[in-house]
Structure 1
Amino acid sequence: MLPFKKGFGSLDMSKVRTPSSSNDMRQAKIGRLPALAAELIELKVDVIVAAPAGSAVAAKKVTSAVPFVFMAEPDPVAIGLVTSLARPGGNVTGLADAHADLIPKRLELLKQAMAASSRVGVLWNPANPSTAPQLKTAQAAARALGLAISPVDVKGPGRSDLDQAFAAIERARLGGLLVIADPTLGNHRYRIAELAIKRRLPTSGTHRGWVEGGLLMSYGSDFIDMFRHGATLVDKIFKGVRPADLPVEQPTKFEFVINLKTAKALGVAIPASLLARADQVLE
């Protein structure tokens, strides 16, 4: 959230509050999100900022009066946050991360780094409502690319849950792994990278933070730019604009990042054509 706070510039940061139990968010305790949202309501805040993906649903469940701005929601219409992007309605607006639109691109790029196998695993957290629409998009996009999708769900937030998921991945003999990001998986991104490298499995994530954590590649929004811009929406609400009158905005800046250190550990030779398309190559 630091880029978001920086986005306020010279605005009065005394208006910004976080729940006393916000560590539950950092630890991805999704079941606690409604209680955290209720805590903010008790503080009588003027605006709620809901991030990361999945947290805005909790905010909507506890208030239809307090304005809130969501950040990085992949498909806010599909999960019922807003009526439409142009006319969100109610007390909600925000920034859509367009994960669903980007998934076909991620699969296409991942395919170029895979060996002969056409089987791709999709690691996802079914407890997060924002992830199911993305899984469906991946399944539809895979067919056009000649790929077969094998969903692998992570059944809880613990390390053992992740280990069980990778045991299933190993049994499935997959050729690559697409990670549908959420707070639970994000907290384990280094472990995910470690387990994937151990199994010689090329991986793709949603933004550069995953590549910095050890995944092979990512294609997605510039989160720093997105969160910084989110502050402008909050500022407009502070100044009296209704969320219903603020169209949901979508990212315009995307980046493709490759981790060559991971490629070397995997024994994968990244095609020169793919390297040429990368916005950044980590060595």
Structure 2
Amino acid sequence: MKLGLTTALASFLLLAGCGTSESGGSGSSEDGKKTYKVGITQIVEHPSLDAATKGFKKALEDKGLNVEFDEQNAQNDQNNSQSIANNFVGDNVDLIFANSTPSALSSLNATKDIPIVFTSVTDPVAGGLVKSMEEPGGNITGTTDTHPDAIPNTVKFIADNFEGKRIGMIYNSGEQNSVAQVELVEKATKGTDLKVVKSSVSTSAEVKQAAESLVGKVDFFYIITDNTVVSALESVIGVASDKDIPLFVGELDSVKRGGFAAYGFDYNDIGYEAGEMAAKILTGEAKVNELPVQYPQNLKLEINKKAAEEMGIEIKEEWKKDAEIIE
């Protein structure tokens, strides 16, 4: 299908408005060191992904590399994501940093030659990005945002501490990242009395209605690291607070925004780890297919005291032994 002139112009303007460039020069800098061109593609703006991008850039800075960043945001549009990746290939960047599963898939579709380092990807193997975690193969590797214990620990916490049985999950079924996590939650509920009640959305605008549709049908909300839903998390927080429904979330930034609790880690850290991998690739210290995919470190339980009060949850004394309570 050919894109009409008006649509093509609109897409161009949208992409032009979603990118930033930080130039460290071209070719060689004033100090004689090589300057690398790195394209950053991120599927949507929200605190966790933003933190990962910040960590990635900081790692390259700490390594003392001169880097010219071309930073683009797809505004949660897969067509934009693919156009961004194609443009990076056309610009012959030295490396692509893909922040999210959709961004990584777009980048891999665009090139099999330029090194790609991803982060914020839940299941790189099931998503078709790498052959295995230990030996990714091809031109792509990175860091995953799935700690093996995060979802099982969350489900166990619910089962051990609450009387309700129905976990409401809102997610975008078009995101492989999200489908994989929902399946992990369903797997974790086996052997318990818990049951997953699903509601799928396609856009962030549908999130509030989906949350409202689950009222009366669920005892908890569990919002995983779904880019579509997390970008509209305040809609779910509002419903959860109004209806006294505990809201469990998939990462710590969502706890700070008003989720009740999460087992998580700092996304800045996995972005930083991805940046360290990128530095090795750019300087020739390692080839992209030699670097195993890295898991996040330092999993912890975090509870939002204010959110607990608004959702009618009493914080138990025993929780304080293992959890970090934030105001």
User: Residue 72 of structure 1: CA displacement?
Assistant: 2.1
Does 1:188 find its partner at 2:188?
no
User: Residue 110 of structure 1: CA displacement?
Assistant: 3.2
Residue number among 123, 126, 133 corresponding to 1:85 in the alignment:
133
Percent identity between matched residues is: 25
Looking at CA atoms only, which structure, 1 or 2, has the larger radius of gyration?
2
Q: Is the contact between residue 265 and residue 296 of structure 2 (CA under 8 Å) also seen in structure 1?
A: yes
The equivalent of 1:11 in structure 2 is 64
Q: Is the contact between residue 256 and residue 304 of structure 2 (CA under 8 Å) also seen in structure 1?
A: yes
Does 1:249 find its partner at 2:260?
no
Q: Which amino acid aligns with 1:3?
A: G
The equivalent of 1:271 in structure 2 is 316
User: Residue 267 of structure 1: CA displacement?
Assistant: 1.3
Q: Is the contact between residue 95 and residue 115 of structure 2 (CA under 8 Å) also seen in structure 1?
A: yes
Does 1:102 find its partner at 2:150?
yes
The equivalent of 1:38 in structure 2 is 86
Any idea what the Cα deviations from partners look like across 1:105-124, whole Å, max 9, x if unmatched?
A: 1122234453x221111121
Residue number among 216, 221, 224 corresponding to 2:268 in the alignment:
224
Q: Distance in 2 between matches of 1:129 and 1:261?
A: 33
Secondary structure of the 1:14 match is: strand
Secondary structure of the 1:149 match is: strand
The equivalent of 1:260 in structure 2 is 305
The equivalent of 2:253 in structure 1 is 209
Structure 1 unaligned runs (5+)?
none
The equivalent of 2:41 in structure 1 is none
The equivalent of 2:39 in structure 1 is none
Q: Distance in 1 between matches of 2:241 and 2:201?
A: 18
Residue number among 135, 152, 155 corresponding to 2:182 in the alignment:
135
Distance 1:121 1:13, change over 3 A: farther
User: Residue 276 of structure 1: CA displacement?
Assistant: 1.7
User: Residue 12 of structure 1: CA displacement?
Assistant: 3.2
Q: 1:148-159 residue pairs with structure 2 within 5 A? A: 148-158=195-205
Q: Distance in 2 between matches of 1:214 and 1:15?
A: 36
Any idea what the Cα deviations from partners look like across 1:218-255, whole Å, max 9, x if unmatched?
A: 11232122111211100011012221111111112212
Q: Distance in 2 between matches of 1:230 and 1:207?
A: 18
Secondary structure of the 2:177 match is: coil
Distance 1:229 1:243, change over 3 A: same
Question: Which is richer in strand?
Answer: 2
- Backbone CA RMSD of aligned residues: 1.7
Q: Which amino acid aligns with 1:276?
A: K
Q: Distance in 2 between matches of 1:70 and 1:141?
A: 27
Q: Which amino acid aligns with 2:292?
A: P
Q: Is the contact between residue 4 and residue 230 of structure 1 (CA under 8 Å) also seen in structure 2?
A: yes
Q: Is the contact between residue 147 and residue 296 of structure 2 (CA under 8 Å) also seen in structure 1?
A: no
Q: Is the contact between residue 146 and residue 295 of structure 2 (CA under 8 Å) also seen in structure 1?
A: yes
Q: Is the contact between residue 110 and residue 203 of structure 1 (CA under 8 Å) also seen in structure 2?
A: no
Which structure has more relative contact order (CA 8 Å, sep 6+)? It is 1
User: Residue 55 of structure 1: CA displacement?
Assistant: 1.9
The two structures have a TM-score, normalised by structure 2, of 0.79
The equivalent of 2:54 in structure 1 is 2
Aligned length: 273
Residue number among 158, 168, 189 corresponding to 1:121 in the alignment:
168
